[in-house]
């Protein structure tokens, strides 16, 4: 069976690690961690992920921009994206929704488990 | 007539008499109008008749005495002279008593009366019988002639061919020339220049044989070239075979002077007699009028001279008074000691009209002090007496009218004497009428010291004094002509002084002459006092009003007041500043013209709070996020409220709105919210970290946990959740505050669903607190509402969790749902601590936690109700509660059924 890939673009180290630990549960997946948007997009050149978990508040390039880039990128534009953020900014949410996301999680409101469960379904 | 005048008159008569007596000539005084002639001088000596006889002859007698041959010419010449008004010089033969004739030269003057009419002849008659003319019959013996001429008492000159041939020594003496000076010279050299023409003419005509007066007056010059008045008596004679003029020259300076003096005296006498205003009357002891002046004639209506000789009493005294006057007359004549110098009686004019004359009488005595007549000077006082009577009449009328007046008044005459003082004034002033009338004590009513009253000034028409003495307090009466009124305070009247309003009016007779002044006064003290009290009160009110206004105008918040018609009655400085409209622009206008309150979100009109206040009489707050559109179109965020204004009976009469520009506040709020937002978001990150790792731990991902470890970790997780919760609430609050659209996604929902779900969610918490959850849902709750599901669920959640937390252990919480036509009403009831009454109004405030639970519960952010209420309202509903301390609380909220 082909191993699925999950790309996590998250700048906070702790959260990144937590997500990694949580996602580990899923069988036969590889977890790709990126610290910022640029790194994330670079990684897509190597591997086409099956799901992307994207943070909004990041230095250099914020999540919305990354999402834009993803959607513009032919090879990765159809990949399901989940926003995992602390930002509840209506504007951002609307933009993301417009660009096409599968879910918007406010980090502190969701357990790792629930996030993992949701992501699983898109693999 | 004064005594002085009388004396002068008598004096001049005296002088006149003396003057005439002294001359050696006859002088006569002929009064032409009356025809009476009076003779003076030694009549008996010259003519043989006594003066009395001569006087009695009169003018007709005189004429008869002229030689009949001379008469015609004499009279003619006199007439001619009279017509010319000239002096005259007539010669005629005059018959003496013994029948013989003397030749007389009658020369004199005509005296004019004041009118310029000739009324008198004053003349001198001289015996010229002396052989002036005889001399012409003289022989031509020069010697004889000369001797004769020398003998003459008069100056004589003989002229031939215009030259002086001979002058006698008398002439020499008279003029100062010597024979040498004169002989051979033209006689005209010795004539005064102004007379030269006349004399020359006479001379030439005489030579020609024309009829010229033999005797005439002229003026010559003496050696010193002084004029000498002369009488020339010229006649032709034959001398040395030729015609010559023999001229007798008499110096008549003295005579002329006498005549002039006499004339002057007579004229003076005439003058005295005709002094305007006085009638001068003289009568003899028989009562016959001997003298009456022009005035007298005029008054009585007679021509000059008409009255002379008539009986005064019979003719001029009215029958009614005849007896009385006769008595007086007798008294005066008899020289009784009681001699009435002053007397008033009526006289009758020619037309029968009666006039009242006031007489001043005196006796005329001759030199032997014998009474020869009465001299009276009279004044026509008819008009004066009539006026006095009329005045008395008017005064009587006035008195009658004023008698009954309830207003104090008094009336003074032209001389400032009180004529009338009414009863009311007596009472007012304490001065009796009998003490006032006739005096000038009117000032005592008003003042301590004597000074003019308004009536005094008015009667004198002294407007300047009125302006001065009553400056600022007087005014000309609008109702009464020639009247002035004033209001003043008189400290001397009564105990504490009095305010009086007084008016003084001129009283005039029919002719318009001022005859007095009437003054009336009114005590207006009480009125003034109440006026003062009123003024003071009004002053107090005004001061208070000013204070209040200052406060209102000064306070930093905008304040405006509306009446019940929403018109602006007050608009303070801050309101001006915020709205951009001035007080003037705002005043009186309907508020909507000046102040537009709109919603920040949708620009809808938000002035409802004003209407609500005025209609309901309850204060209303402005809705949040209300903007005021300023004059310039700017939108200013404002906040605050409207309170009703009520009258004494509690009826709403308007509203007071206090508002302030909250732009700054908003900015700060904005910043705060941004900060909260930012902070919250930042806080979420580490909290998420904690949350997830705890989760991992609890899942055993890091190894098997002991029970205790699990327990501890659970505690940590719970604390963490609380923090996360708090942050959620803070973020919610900041969203509410910033007025950002509460993301309302309305969906169809059923009220019962929420109940179910929230009950499920909160069962653990309820168990924790030992509370039983009960739901009561009525059938009609099976309806549809359109709400934001998530948010409404939160409302249920917040209310329920509160109810659970604030219940006492073992209690229950009831959640009910009901509905009416328009909305669904949900209630959550607990039987816990309740909310103290004093704090109930703060229940929906952010972070509010009542005192009574603070001590018991540390759990709780104090934001739950605030957020719940905001959500409900955002969904179109309302939230309220009922609570009693230690009994419990019930929270209600409604949600509209309509979309």
pLDDT at A110 (0 to 100): 92
Name the percent of chain B lying above pLDDT 70: 92
Phi, psi of A5 (to 5 degrees): -120, 140
**Interface membership of A87 toward B (CB under 8 Å):** yes
Distance of alpha carbon B367 from the chain centroid: 69
Q: What is the mean pLDDT of chain B?
A: 83
Q: Does the beta-carbon distance from A108 to B696 stay under 8 Å?
A: no
pLDDT-derived band of residue B131, with 50, 70 and 90 as boundaries? very low
Chain A residues with beta carbon closer than 8 angstroms to that of B681 = 57, 86-88
- pLDDT at residue B41, as a whole number: 76
On whether the CB atoms of residues B657 and B610 are closer than 8 A, the answer is yes
Please give the average per-residue pLDDT across B607-618, as a whole number. Answer: 83
Residue B145, token pair as written in the block: 């002639």
- Give me the pLDDT at residue B139, please: 42
Residues of A in contact with B728 (CB under 8 A): 108-109
Q: If pLDDT is split at 50, 70 and 90, which confidence band does A32 have?
A: very high
pLDDT given at position B375: 82
pTM: 0.41
Burial B838-870 (b: 16+ CB within 10 A, else e): ebbeebbebeebbebbeeeeeebbebbbbbbbb
**Residue A109 falls inside a structural domain:** yes
Phi, psi of B89 (to 5 degrees): -150, 105
Instruction: Select from A21, A106, A107 the Cβ nearest to the Cβ of B696.
Output: A21
Residue that wins the pLDDT comparison between B674 and A31: A31
Q: Rounded to an integer, what distance in angstroms lies between the CA atom of residue A102 and that of residue A91?
A: 17
| Mean pLDDT for the stretch of residues B760-781 | 86
**Residues of chain A found within 8 Å of residue B692, distances taken between Cβ atoms:** 15, 18-19, 21-22, 111-112
CB contact under 8 A, B689 and A88: no
Domain that holds residue A111: 4-43+60-122
Q: What is the ipTM of this complex?
A: 0.92
Residue B5's pLDDT is 64
DSSP B677-706: HHHHHHHHHHHHHHHHHHHHHHTTTTS---
Chain B residues whose CB is inside 8 A of the A108 CB are: 684, 687-688, 691, 724, 727-728
Note whether B799 and B805 are within 8 A (CB): no
Q: How would DSSP label each residue in B598-655?
A: EETTT--B-THHHHHHHHH-S-EEPPTTEEEE-TTS-EEEEEEEEEEEE-TTS-EEEE
Q: How far apart are CA B218 and CA B364, in angstroms?
A: 41
pLDDT category of residue B18 using cuts at 50, 70 and 90: low
Rg of chain B's alpha carbons, rounded to an integer? 69
Q: What is the CATH number of the domain that holds A103?
A: 3.40.50.2300
**Number of CB atoms found within 10 A of residue B234's CB:** 20
**Residue among A12, A109, A112 whose CB faces B696 most closely:** A112
Please state the φ and ψ torsions of residue B162, each to the nearest 5 degrees: 80, -5
Are B159 and B244 contacting, i.e. CB atoms less than 8 angstroms apart?
A: yes
Quick check: A26 contacting B, CB < 8 Å? no
Q: Is A20 on the interface with B (CB under 8 A)?
A: no
In a domain, A26, yes or no: yes
In a domain, A116, yes or no: yes
Mean pLDDT along residues B210-225: 83
Mutate: best of A63, A89, A108, partner B, most B CBs <10 A: A108
In a domain, A115, yes or no: yes
pLDDT at B96: 87
**Which pLDDT score, from 0 to 100, does residue B882 have?**
94
Tell me the sheet residues that pair with B882. B890
Residue A28 lies in a domain: yes
User: In this complex, is the C-beta atom of A90 within 8 Å of any C-beta atom belonging to chain B?
Assistant: yes
Residue A45 to residue B427: CA distance in whole angstroms: 128
Chain B nearest-CA distance from A74, in A, is: 32
Is residue A15 in some structural domain? Answer: yes
* Spatial separation of the C-alpha atoms in residues B325 and B302, rounded to whole Å: 21
Chain B interface, Cβ < 8 Å to A: 681-682, 684-689, 691-693, 695-696, 699, 701, 724, 727-728, 731, 740-741, 743
* Structure confidence at residue B387 as a pLDDT band (50, 70, 90): confident
Q: Which tens digit of pLDDT belongs to each residue from B540-570?
A: 888 888 888 788 777 888 888 888 888 998 8
Give the span between the Cα atoms of A21 and B519, in whole angstroms. 121
Residue A106 lies in a domain: yes
pLDDT in tens, B416-468: 999 889 888 999 999 999 999 999 999 999 998 999 999 999 999 999 999 99
Parallel, antiparallel or unpaired: strands B558-563 and B652-661: antiparallel
What are the chain A neighbours of B693 within 8 Å (beta carbons)?
14, 18, 21
Extract the runs of DSSP E, i.e. beta strands, from B550-593: 558-563, 568-571
What is the mean pLDDT of the segment spanning B662-671?
81
The pLDDT of residue B6: 64
**Packing angle, helices B789-805 and B751-769, rounded to 10:** 30
Scored b (16 or more CB within 10 A) or e, B381-392 reads: ebeeeeeeeebe
**Strand pairing of A4-9 and A29-34?**
parallel
Domain total in chain A? 1
pLDDT per position as a tens digit, B822-856: 889 999 999 988 899 888 888 888 777 777 776 66
Per DSSP, what are the bridge partners of residue B412?
Answer: B418, B517
The H or E element spanning position B576 is helix B573-579
Which chain B residue shows the shortest CA-CA distance from A55?
B685
Residue A32 maps to a domain = yes
Question: Between A and B, how many CB-CB pairs are < 8 A?
Answer: 57
The residue whose two tokens read 């719940």 is: B868
Per-residue model confidence (pLDDT) at position B1: 47
Question: What SS3 state is found at B377?
Answer: strand
- B696 to A22: CB separation less than 8 angstroms, yes or no: yes
| Nearest one of B518, B483, B508, B484 to B410, comparing CA atoms | B518
Q: How far apart are CA B21 and CA B747, in angstroms?
A: 161
**Residue A81 tokens, joined:** 């994206």
What is the per-residue DSSP string for B6-25?
HHHHHHHHHHHHHHHHHSSS
Helices B253-273/B3-22 angle, 10° precision: 160
């Amino acid at each position: 069976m082909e191993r699925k890939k999950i790309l996590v673009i998250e700048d906070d180290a702790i959260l990144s690690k937590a997500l990694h630990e949580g996602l580990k549960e899923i069988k036969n997946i590889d977890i790709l961690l990126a610290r910022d948007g640029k790194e994330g997009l670079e990684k897509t050149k190597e591997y086409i992920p099956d799901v992307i978990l994207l943070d909004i508040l990041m230095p250099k390039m914020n999540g919305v921009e990354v999402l834009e880039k993803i959607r513009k990128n032919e090879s990765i534009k159809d990949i399901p994206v989940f926003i995992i953020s602390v930002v509840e900014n209506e504007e951002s949410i609307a933009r993301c929704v417009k660009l096409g996301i599968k879910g918007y999680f406010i980090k502190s409101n969701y357990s790792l488990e629930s996030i993992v469960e949701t992501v699983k379904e898109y693999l | 007539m004064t005594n002085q005048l009388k004396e002068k008159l008598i004096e001049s008569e005296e002088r006149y008499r003396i003057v005439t007596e002294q001359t050696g000539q006859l002088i006569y005084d002929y009064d032409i109008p009356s025809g009476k002639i009076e003779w003076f001088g030694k009549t008996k000596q010259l003519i043989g008749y006594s003066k009395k006889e001569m006087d009695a002859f009169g003018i007709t007698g005189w004429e008869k005495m002229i030689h009949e041959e001379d008469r015609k010419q004499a009279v003619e010449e006199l007439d001619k002279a009279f017509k010319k008004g000239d002096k005259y010089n007539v010669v005629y033969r005059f018959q003496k008593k013994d029948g013989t004739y003397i030749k007389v030269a009658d020369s004199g003057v005509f005296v004019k009366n004041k009118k310029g009419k000739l009324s008198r002849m004053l003349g001198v008659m001289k015996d010229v019988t002396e052989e002036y003319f005889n001399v012409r019959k003289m022989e031509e013996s020069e010697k004889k002639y000369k001797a004769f001429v020398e003998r003459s008492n008069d100056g004589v000159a003989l002229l031939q061919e215009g030259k002086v041939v001979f002058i006698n020594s008398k002439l020499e003496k008279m003029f100062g020339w010597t024979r040498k000076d004169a002989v051979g010279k033209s006689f005209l050299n010795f004539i005064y220049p102004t007379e030269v023409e006349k004399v020359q003419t006479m001379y030439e005509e005489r030579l020609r044989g024309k009829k010229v007066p033999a005797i005439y007056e002229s003026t010559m010059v003496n050696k010193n070239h002084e004029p000498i008045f002369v009488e020339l008596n010229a006649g032709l004679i034959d001398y040395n075979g030729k015609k010559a003029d023999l001229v007798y020259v008499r110096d008549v300076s003295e005579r002329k002077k006498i005549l002039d003096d006499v004339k002057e005296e007579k004229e003076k006498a005439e003058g005295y007699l005709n002094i305007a205003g006085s009638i001068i009357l003289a009568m003899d002891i028989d009562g016959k009028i001997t003298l009456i002046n022009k005035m007298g004639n005029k008054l009585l209506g007679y021509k000059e001279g008409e009255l002379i000789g008539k009986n005064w009493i019979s003719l001029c005294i009215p029958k009614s008074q005849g007896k009385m006057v006769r008595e007086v007359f007798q008294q005066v004549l008899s020289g009784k000691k009681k001699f009435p110098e002053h007397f008033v009686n009526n006289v009758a004019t020619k037309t029968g009209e009666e006039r009242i004359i006031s007489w001043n009488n005196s006796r005329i005595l001759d030199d032997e002090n014998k009474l020869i007549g009465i001299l009276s000077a009279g004044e026509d006082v008819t008009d004066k007496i009539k006026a006095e009577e009329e005045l008395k009449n008017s005064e009587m009328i006035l008195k009658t009218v004023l008698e009954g007046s309830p207003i104090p008044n008094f009336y003074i005459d032209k001389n400032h004497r009180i004529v009338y003082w009414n009863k009311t004034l007596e009472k007012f002033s304490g001065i009796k009428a009998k003490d006032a009338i006739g005096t000038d004590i009117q000032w005592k009513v008003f003042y301590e010291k004597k000074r003019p009253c308004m009536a005094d000034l008015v009667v004198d028409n002294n407007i300047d004094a009125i302006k001065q003495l009553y400056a600022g307090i007087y005014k000309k009466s609008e109702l009464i002509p020639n009247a002035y009124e004033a209001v003043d305070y008189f400290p001397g009247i009564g105990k504490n002084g009095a305010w009086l309003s007084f008016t003084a009016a001129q009283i005039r007779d029919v002719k318009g002459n001022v005859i007095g002044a009437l003054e009336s006064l009114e005590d207006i003290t009480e009125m003034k006092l109440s006026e003062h009290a009123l003024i003071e009160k009004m002053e107090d009110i005004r001061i208070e009003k000013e204070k209040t206004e200052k406060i209102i105008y000064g306070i930093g918040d905008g304040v405006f007041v509306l009446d019940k018609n929403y018109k602006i009655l007050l608009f303070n400085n801050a309101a001006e500043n915020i709205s951009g409209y001035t007080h003037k622009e705002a005043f009186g206008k309907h508020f909507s013209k000046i102040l537009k309150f709109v919603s920040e979100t949708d620009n809808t009109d938000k002035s409802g709070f004003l209407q609500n206040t005025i209609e309901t009489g309850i204060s209303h707050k402005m809705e949040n996020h209300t903007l005021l559109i300023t004059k310039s179109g700017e939108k200013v965020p404002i906040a605050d409220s409207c309170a009703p204004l009520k009258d004494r009976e509690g009826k709403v009469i308007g509203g007071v709105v206090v508002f302030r520009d909250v732009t700054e506040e908003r900015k700060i709020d904005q910043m705060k919210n941004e900060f909260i937002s930012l902070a919250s978001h930042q806080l979420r990150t580490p909290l998420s970290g904690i949350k997830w790792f705890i989760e991992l731990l609890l899942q055993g991902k890091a190894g098997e946990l002991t029970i205790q470890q699990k327990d501890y970790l659970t505690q940590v997780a719970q604390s963490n959740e609380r923090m996360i919760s708090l942050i959620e609430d803070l973020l919610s609050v900041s969203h509410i505050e910033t007025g950002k659209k509460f993301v309302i996604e309305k969906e169809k929902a059923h009220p019962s669903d929420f109940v179910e779900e929230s009950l499920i969610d909160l069962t653990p918490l309820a168990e924790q607190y030992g509370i039983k959850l009960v739901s009561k849902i009525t059938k009609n709750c099976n309806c549809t509402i359109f709400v934001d599901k998530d948010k409404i669920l939160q409302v249920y959640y917040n209310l329920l969790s509160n109810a659970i937390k604030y219940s006492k252990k073992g209690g229950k919480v009831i959640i009910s749902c009901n509905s009416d036509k328009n909305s669904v009403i949900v209630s959550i009831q607990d039987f816990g601590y309740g909310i103290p009454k004093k704090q109930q109004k703060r229940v929906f405030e952010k972070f509010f936690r009542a005192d009574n639970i603070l001590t018991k519960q540390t759990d709780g952010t104090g934001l739950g109700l605030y957020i719940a209420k905001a959500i409900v309202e955002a969904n179109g509903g309302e939230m309220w509660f009922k609570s009693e301390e230690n009994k419990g609380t019930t929270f209600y909220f409604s949600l509209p059924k309509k979309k």
